[in-house]
Amino acid sequence: MTAFLLVLEGNPCVDNYPCFTIDERLLLAPMPSPATYRTIQQPSTALFTDRGSKFIGHAFPVQNTDDVKSALTQVKKEHPKASHYCYAWRIGPVGEHYRVSDAGEPSGSAGRPILGQIDSKELTFTLVVVVRYFGGTLLGVPGLINAYKTAAVLALQVVPSLEKDIEEEWVLHFEYTLMNDVMRILKRHRCTVLSQESQLFVRMLTGIPLKEKEVCLEEIGKMHGVELAKT
């Protein structure tokens, strides 16, 4: 095992300077994956005005890009005469997917400030759209950054956030007579039934929380007649 030497100043281990050895395994060990994520509980709306321009922030919980497209379509129908529809979203258990749009405003003046507010609250699976009605006075880039940022802040302030389990999807195949026993295990470990096809046999797609996965799979695996497959 290699040890790493950290020297604060001066020659190592001389002149009364402290030395520290760091176990190489601590440097190389991967960080544990998060078991939960934070998102908003429901859609929200908030208004900010500046020198005649109205900035209306809309926040939405979203699961995928189809939800994003649907929300954007909804906002545009509600505000057909708005001059800009700027937005940012972050999706994924660890927020690994995101997008920003300035929608015709100067580059970096809208989408990035909106995303910054999503990130400041450590949210994912969240979309914020800020609609602008131009009031006749140019705000300049600093003014636009402040306006879009503030509208996003307000929209996220008025909605509760909540913590959710990160789930891993598994497919279960079993006879219908085992349904009660399977559901008892899934409920005990707070699993989500995502889809289900039932006749004589059941094909069930379920989301198993990461922090419950090991025990849950062990219990299901002990059941005779249940087949498990990771999607």
* CA pair distance 160, 61, nearest whole angstrom: 11
CATH homologous superfamily of 166-230: ACT domain (3.30.70.260)
Tokens of 41: 């509980």
pLDDT digits (tens, 9 = 90+) for 3-57: 333 333 444 444 454 444 444 444 444 445 689 999 999 999 999 999 999 999 9
What is the per-residue pLDDT for 34?
A: 80
Q: What mean pLDDT comes out for the span 108-118?
A: 98
CATH 3.30.70.260 domain range(s) in the chain: 166-230
Mention the CATH class of domain 37-163. alpha beta
Reduced to 3 states (helix: H, G, I; strand: E, B; else coil), residue 42 is coil
pTM for this entry: 0.76
CATH 3.30.230.30 domain range(s) in the chain: 37-163
Q: Nearest Cα to 67, choosing from 99, 113, 94? A: 99
pLDDT digits (tens, 9 = 90+) for 132-160: 999 999 999 999 999 999 999 999 999 99
* CA pair distance 171, 16, nearest whole angstrom: 62
